[in-house]
Structure 1
């Protein structure tokens, strides 16, 4: 088997990342976007010692899991994976993938509490980053990237994972840009003016914040656009319009200069009766209702902490620490990004919490400096998981419990395996589906200290 060969594969199982797995001539074949039960004609992209990576050329036979997608963009848009699968089957796929990962690492003696479905199956996202660009025909477009095509954008004006306010903002901004003849940014030439439209909406408080991201290649007065936004009859209350300038070559939304064109530069969201101030660039879970289910699980696994010290590691903007603070004796959060720590402190103050301390710095380094000993350690690390040195330091504290929150089950099971080799045992696992129609899933794991 060689690169560019075309092979026929029956998809026998699924792996995290939206991959379908089959076998050809005794070798594992991993195909992005393939679905359990499909028969696929695939082109070989990479040949490795123990595995082949392929891409779909044609679906020869459909899966019994497939149904008609409710989203007209599905198939072209790179945003979703499972729009053509019933929600119940999506949950089953995610649950099976997670269980197999645990089993592969030899983690078997634990209580699996299932997967909590998102309270909203559609219209659940509270943030979208739309890209200005061109579609495959070369026409102007504002929306999401075409699947597998970095330089192509499709108009996602009927997307069903957002509420109508997002689509209204997208269409209004696109129409304005076309009317004014404003040049859309070209990622190949790095020329153009309009780069992104970022829409954030507070699901609970009903506030919406709009951020127009441009280069500095033009000067433009956005007064007319602001008036259009103000008169748009959004279901939410428009609290701010921002203008971010970004001349970096990266396609990420980077802030080199920020100007408030109207209102304020943040919105207020409510989670479990606590308020959170979210700025244009703050990290916050993109499914507010799902976030409540996630944090309820964290509280449940942490148990009674009324007389206990809780460490919130990789604390970000402090959401978990603040959620735990009303129940705990004391919370100490550690986060590398200083801006996030400042947000955490402001959010603690916003809620009148005086038993929270948030520290800026590397987790491994700061753990060596802290004098207090935690009773419960909560970790919510980045996708890559916990640094091995930090894992060693966490174990040394000998806390009663570790609650591990993860958005990447592959790095999760790796870290759990390491922790299980010492003084901890995996007791409970619960998944929370924060991202319907995608392959992503959040997982909360409770580890308890093994008394010797």
Structure 2
């Protein structure tokens, strides 16, 4: 894949841009195998390739420039906006939204936030596209000052972008390097974006996490389902369950599945998906994964963990070591923290691993490992 922004030095976010894709994928496989080289009984499955371009279902863009000439993209070293509305890793559906959104910003005179001066209102836009082409649009604002204007002209935006089904405003009053704040104001009657993944309808609320590559997310959940069904556990915990992707794919007759996630919004979404699918034996709770495990009276047969980049940590590793859990399916977006966690689980043997290229054109990837208790 070639990118004019990368070639011009305008954006270097995709550090592998321009490298042959086969070389990228082989490099990620080698990197992961090297980190886990001490696990000599590990069987490496073929890595799962992504499409090279247009794979991102989510765009997290900084709004810069002026209300009359807004940029949609990133900031340069001086804090000024750089326009990336033709970014090739974004899906065609996302790219179709950007020019209409720029027109909307001009029409409503939404002043972009000026980072060096700490003035202005519109900080970011976060846009997510479902496999059906439906879109969720979130506007990250400094305050509620422009909210009445946005509400007044919302119908115009929806007329120009009929694929947009969910719109919300997120408030981020602080001047700090984060993407969004805690408070979300829903502006549309529809509150969730339906994401059809394999045979499951997942529901995303505005602040819910979902993988940025729908095709790879589907492959991830299929691999998890395959390993779980092969082992046929009677009970499963999905820790860090998000909107329930692994948990819902693990459902089966006579099997209990419990999903734990800190985000209460994600839990609402997971329950909705489970109810719609008529799945039995499913339970979802909002809470901390480690605290839940430590407080539980009994352990399940199998645990799925899909933690953030920091990994599951010493405390949860210690609980797994002392528990009766027989198998762990570990999905990681950071092979370094994965390697550290596996070293803290000497009672388990890593049996199988698979790299899934969730993030083409970058050094990042997802890896899944199946662990079996052997001590």
For normalisation by structure 2, the TM-score amounts to 0.90
Matches within 5 A, 1:339-358: 339-358=265-284
In the alignment, the residues of structure 2 paired with residue 363 and residue 228 of structure 1 have an alpha-carbon distance, to the nearest angstrom, of: 40
The count of aligned residue pairs is: 369
Cα pair 2:204 2:243 within 8 Å, conserved: no
In the alignment, the residues of structure 2 paired with residue 335 and residue 213 of structure 1 have an alpha-carbon distance, to the nearest angstrom, of: 24
Deviation at 1:347, TM superposition (A): 2.6
In the alignment, the residues of structure 1 paired with residue 348 and residue 292 of structure 2 have an alpha-carbon distance, to the nearest angstrom, of: 22
Matches within 5 A, 1:263-412: 263-304=189-230, 306=232, 308-326=234-252, 329-412=255-338
Deviation at 1:180, TM superposition (A): 4.8
Match of 1:143 among 73, 87, 102: 73
* Match status 1:198 vs 2:126: yes
In the alignment, the residues of structure 1 paired with residue 339 and residue 78 of structure 2 have an alpha-carbon distance, to the nearest angstrom, of: 31
Q: 1:320 to 1:249 in 2, by over 3 A?
A: same
Secondary structure of 1:73's aligned partner: helix
Deviation at 1:393, TM superposition (A): 0.6
For normalisation by structure 1, the TM-score amounts to 0.76
Query: 159-168 or 274-283, which moves further after superposition?
Result: 159-168
Could you give the per-residue CA deviations for residues 181-232 of structure 1, whole angstroms, max 9, x where no partner exists?
A: 43210123321011111111101x3311212222227335234464244234
In the alignment, the residues of structure 1 paired with residue 121 and residue 336 of structure 2 have an alpha-carbon distance, to the nearest angstrom, of: 39
Matches within 5 A, 1:411-422: 411-419=337-345, 421=346
Secondary structure of 1:115's aligned partner: coil
Could you give the per-residue CA deviations for residues 392-430 of structure 1, whole angstroms, max 9, x where no partner exists?
A: 1112223221111100000001111221x2x21111111
* Match status 1:96 vs 2:30: yes
Higher strand share: 1
Deviation at 1:163, TM superposition (A): 2.3
In the alignment, the residues of structure 1 paired with residue 219 and residue 182 of structure 2 have an alpha-carbon distance, to the nearest angstrom, of: 35
Could you give the per-residue CA deviations for residues 219-276 of structure 1, whole angstroms, max 9, x where no partner exists?
A: 35234464244234x6xx3213323332122342324543343442321011121111
Query: 216-225 or 292-301, which moves further after superposition?
Result: 216-225
Match of 2:43 among 111, 125, 129: 111
Q: 1:361 to 1:263 in 2, by over 3 A?
A: closer
Could you give the per-residue CA deviations for residues 22-65 of structure 1, whole angstroms, max 9, x where no partner exists?
A: xxxxxxxxxxxxxxxxxxxxxxxxxxxxxxxxxxxxxxxxxxxx
In the alignment, the residues of structure 2 paired with residue 87 and residue 415 of structure 1 have an alpha-carbon distance, to the nearest angstrom, of: 30
5+ unaligned residues in a row in structure 2: which ranges?
none
Could you say which residue in structure 2 is the equivalent of 1:426?
Answer: 350
Q: 1:110 to 1:303 in 2, by over 3 A?
A: same
* Match status 1:244 vs 2:170: yes
Q: Which has the higher contact order (CA 8 A, sep 6+)?
A: 2
In the alignment, the residues of structure 2 paired with residue 407 and residue 188 of structure 1 have an alpha-carbon distance, to the nearest angstrom, of: 33
Deviation at 1:162, TM superposition (A): 1.5
Deviation at 1:126, TM superposition (A): 1.1
Could you say which residue in structure 2 is the equivalent of 1:450?
Answer: 374
Higher helix share: 2
Cα pair 1:334 1:358 within 8 Å, conserved: yes
Query: 192-201 or 152-161, which moves further after superposition?
Result: 152-161
Secondary structure of 1:284's aligned partner: coil
* Match status 1:221 vs 2:155: no
5+ unaligned residues in a row in structure 1: which ranges?
1-68
In the alignment, the residues of structure 1 paired with residue 339 and residue 297 of structure 2 have an alpha-carbon distance, to the nearest angstrom, of: 30
Cα pair 1:247 1:256 within 8 Å, conserved: no
Could you say which residue in structure 1 is the equivalent of 2:84?
Answer: 156
Q: 1:151 to 1:363 in 2, by over 3 A?
A: same
Secondary structure of 1:114's aligned partner: coil
Secondary structure of 1:116's aligned partner: coil
